[in-house]
A and B are shown apart, each in its own frame.
Chain A
């Protein structure tokens, strides 16, 4: 039972480079999310997808794009990386039933450094 799988686990980029973080879940959850976590701050939502075919901005969407490829997969793209995007990125999925969220399952994270 893999849960949420995200790749890569580590990445170093030069300023201006682009990359895509991949995420897949096998729990048949409708909702998927991308968060970033910085020291001393809580997890901050970048983008989310309430269901297949929909995506919406979260708290800190600037500099990112997402694609909900199908029910299982939700990718995050950095088009032109900046040092401010150095962070740990987590993908998550959740069961949402009758509008109530029943808790997240997170991937193991991607540690991204932009130099």
Chain B
């Protein structure tokens, strides 16, 4: 079993739809969590950190459930430009060398 698991998708949604991605992690000692976005043939870019209390950035909402060991990303009012792969990232502990990347969930938003 992978330490960080994501549904690979693809998710195909129409513009304006709300879409949610989940990510599960197996190491209960994980301390910090992030969502990255990766466009086709490009480098990953930090989308947002995920805080215990949940956090929102415009149309994007991230939540953490430590008890069930999963994080989620909700995208409201999807835009064509949201089409990308979304990577779940978990830090097992301090420092970058304990960072685990999920394989990503592909999203296609269609007109």
Contacts and interface: CB of A to CB of B under 8 A. Distances in A.
Main secondary structure of the interface of A (DSSP, over half): strand
A41 B103 contact: yes
Contacts of B58: none
A103 B34 contact: yes
A42 interface: yes
Nearest to A91: B43
Contact of A58 (B44, B91, B97, B102): B97
Interface string A91-115: 0001010011101111111000000
A31 to B, nearest CB: 5
Nearest to B31: A100
Given A40-B8, A106-B45, A94 B96 contact: yes
A33 interface: yes
B17 interface: no
A90 interface: yes
A58 B98 CA distance: 9
Contact of B95 (A31, A103, A104, A109): A31
14 contacts: A31-B96, A41-B103, A42-B2, A42-B4, A42-B87, A42-B103, A42-B104, A48-B97, A50-B96, A90-B43, A103-B49, A104-B44, A104-B46, A107-B43
Interface string B93-111: 0111101111110000000
B57 to A, nearest CB: 13
Contact of B101 (A40, A42, A56, A100): A42
Contacts of A104: 36, 44, 46, 96, 99
10 smallest CB-CB distances across A and B, nearest first, come from A99-B94, A42-B101, A106-B43, A43-B101, A103-B46, A42-B103, A101-B96, A48-B97, A94-B96, A31-B96
